[in-house]
Structure 1
Amino acid sequence: MKRVGLIGLGDMGIGMAKNLLKNGFELTGFDLREERLRELAQLGGKPSASSREVAETSDVVFIMVLNGQQVKEVVLGENGLCQHLKPGSTIIVTATIHPSEVKELVQPLSEAGINLMDTPVSGGKSGADNGTLTMMVAAKEEIFKDNKTILEAVGDKIFHVSEEIGIGQTVKAALQAYIGTTFAAIFESLVLGVKAGVKAETLFEVFGSSGVSSPLFKNCANLIMERKFKGTGSHIGTMYKDLGISMNMAKENGVAMFTASAAYELFRSGISLFPDEDNWSIVKLLEQIAGTEVSYEPLEA
């Protein structure tokens, strides 16, 4: 069985670590936060002090950090994976970054004899915790097949979207445009209905039974009505970053993004007001403008 490394033990990474260990993989992990390293040790994984240590004890390494600059530092930096992984090893980039950023890794890794899998994921913290992530894999067919068992430890919907590195991130950027605009529509429609006199519970029941019902809607609307805006595993900064990638890709390809650009501006306003909260906090901005609140009505005494 291959030895696995994981760099980035945030909400997503620690959930992936749990499932890799559950499936019997020997796991070494690294994060800048000591508390996350302690959590990994409690799960049965081996904490390390650097990316270099992960490289020296792993055959396959997942990278689940926040942005492209961090990915490049992990791979190409002084203590990076490119210098310290043995030839024939594989790097799986599950972080969401710009397609051009993952493409920058191709040549140096190829020269070092290291395989690369461009594999962003969707499903959020619950998907990471439950091992049910959707994975968009761009990699050579033989590399994909050789590592599929490892992917199956953390995901249950695994799509081999291309052999061309960058296509995985391209699919994810298009998906995030869809998700971001969906969030904006949910926020606005709930505020509209409540302001016009409809109970939030009624809107939830009707919307949730209609053609637009989805786990995304039900989770989002329920958290809004429960007024849970922190610690739900979907930080507003992550979605804002992802929508920025989508908008940059649209500009590069000459694609008009009317609704996605509006969603991006809404998230920009939201992150200014609620920088430490989760995606659903944006509804509070719309509530302030409308003078209403989307919440469960208290039970009568």
Structure 2
Amino acid sequence: MRTGIIGIGDMGSGLAKNLIANGFETSGWDLLDHRMSAFADLGGVCKDNAAEVGAASDAVFVMVMNGDQAKEVILDGLATTMAKGSAIILSATVKPREAREIGAALEGSGLHLIDTPVSGGFPGAQGGTLTMMAAAPDAVLDRFAPVMEAVSANIHRVGTRPGDGQTVKACLQSLIGAQFSATFEAAALAAKAGVPGEVILKVFSTSSAGCGVVNNALEKIIDRQFEGTGSHINTMHKDLTISMGLGEELGVPLHTAAAAMQIFHAGRTRYPDGDNWTCTRVIEEIVGAELHRHAAKKTR
């Protein structure tokens, strides 16, 4: 089966790496030249646009930043060249409504849309251990399972319609946002109290609060790695916006997700080039202390 990838950034590069490593001939396209060069170095076949990727593929992953980009590359690109029976695998996180709109636009085209946002971040994408929230008819998921299994350790069938996967992802991100924001605040509290970061990491990671989100964030915070870790703050900010929008649409109060949204607002405004954990720096600046691995340091 021939595969393709649209969007070869932090997440898409991991998908591409694992598709190629599992023996799939993989075509790809990205707007940025340095990403295309890195893709070629992996053994990928570079194309000039989405339509060319579609013409060369039986299944194409779409890992772009937002719904507008997804609509453009799918409806104006892939859908114009892909053969009937092929699959468009929407692995990007978009609004549930946008996934439904894409699905409606593809009706009658003979193409399958698999709505399957992912979780696991940069480490999961690079390691091929992503969790997928897959929505499509069982027969479609069965047929394209080998492609999805190449990039994922857990494939959950969460529905059959476009938008079902994105709805589950929106619920998940409301939780992850709250976990992040609580971690950032706890780190700042420890810094102000004079507790070394190594102590906090050891305790938190082996406690009932320990999990991938908390442990990874703390590692980055205490080692002061706030940029270039593959988890740009814009992505989580966008995801929380989707979660909050779904809550508003359905009339569900999301108090902790709303607080997380404000923390990410502040982090993105103060450090627009930072990764998720840079939000901690905003709180640290307020309290006048920083959490480092071997010490808590006062800054004023």
State whether TM-score is above 0.5.
yes
8 A Cα contact 1:235 1:276, kept in partner? yes
Cα deviation code 1:54-87 (max 9, x no counterpart): 111111111000000000000122xx11121111
Q: Which one-letter code corresponds to 1:25 in the other structure?
A: F
Q: CA deviation at 1:107?
A: 2.3
Correspondences of 1:199-214 after superposition (within 5 Å): 199-214=196-211
Which residue in the other structure is 2:281 paired with? 284
**TM-score where L is the length of structure 2:** 0.96
CA distance in 1, matches of 2:42, 2:190: 45
Correspondence for 2:88 among 75, 87, 91: 91
CA distance in 1, matches of 2:196, 2:269: 29
Q: CA deviation at 1:44?
A: 0.9
Q: Which one-letter code corresponds to 2:148 in the other structure?
A: L
Correspondences of 1:32-71 after superposition (within 5 Å): 32-71=31-70
Which residue in the other structure is 1:26 paired with? 25
Cα deviation code 1:132-160 (max 9, x no counterpart): 00000000110000001100000011101
Q: Which moved more, 1:184-193 or 1:94-103?
A: 184-193
8 A Cα contact 2:88 2:113, kept in partner? yes
CA distance in 1, matches of 2:234, 2:74: 23
CA distance in 2, matches of 1:248, 1:17: 31
CA distance in 2, matches of 1:38, 1:197: 46
Q: CA deviation at 1:201?
A: 2.1
Q: Which one-letter code corresponds to 2:122 in the other structure?
A: K
Which residue in the other structure is 2:130 paired with? 133
Q: CA deviation at 1:197?
A: 2.9
8 A Cα contact 2:191 2:291, kept in partner? yes
8 A Cα contact 2:190 2:291, kept in partner? no
Aligned residue pairs: how many?
Answer: 295
Q: CA deviation at 1:47?
A: 0.3
Q: CA deviation at 1:173?
A: 0.6
Which residue in the other structure is 2:73 paired with? 74
Which residue in the other structure is 2:188 paired with? 191
**TM-score where L is the length of structure 1:** 0.96
Cα deviation code 1:280-299 (max 9, x no counterpart): 0000110011111111236x
Structure 1: give runs of 5+ residues left out of the alignment: none
Is 2:259 aligned against 1:262?
A: yes
CA distance in 2, matches of 1:285, 1:198: 19
Structure 2: give runs of 5+ residues left out of the alignment: 296-300
Q: Secondary structure at the match of 2:195?
A: coil
Q: Secondary structure at the match of 1:293?
A: strand
CA distance in 1, matches of 2:128, 2:20: 11
Q: Which moved more, 1:246-255 or 1:80-89?
A: 80-89
Q: Which moved more, 1:288-297 or 1:150-159?
A: 288-297
CA distance in 2, matches of 1:135, 1:10: 18
CA distance in 2, matches of 1:211, 1:168: 28
Q: Which one-letter code corresponds to 2:120 in the other structure?
A: G
CA distance in 1, matches of 2:194, 2:60: 53
CA distance in 2, matches of 1:226, 1:196: 18
8 A Cα contact 1:82 1:108, kept in partner? no
Is 2:157 aligned against 1:163?
A: no
8 A Cα contact 1:230 1:278, kept in partner? yes
CA distance in 2, matches of 1:107, 1:203: 49
Q: Secondary structure at the match of 1:11?
A: coil
CA distance in 1, matches of 2:51, 2:191: 54
CA distance in 2, matches of 1:172, 1:227: 29
Correspondence for 2:144 among 125, 137, 147: 147
Which residue in the other structure is 2:115 paired with? 118
Q: Secondary structure at the match of 2:158?
A: strand
Superposed structure 1 runs of 4+ greater than 6 Å apart: none
Q: Secondary structure at the match of 2:107?
A: helix
Q: CA deviation at 1:191?
A: 1.1
Report percent identity of matched pairs. Answer: 46
Is 2:250 aligned against 1:253?
A: yes
Q: Which one-letter code corresponds to 2:213 in the other structure?
A: L
Cα deviation code 1:105-135 (max 9, x no counterpart): 1222122111110000011111111100000
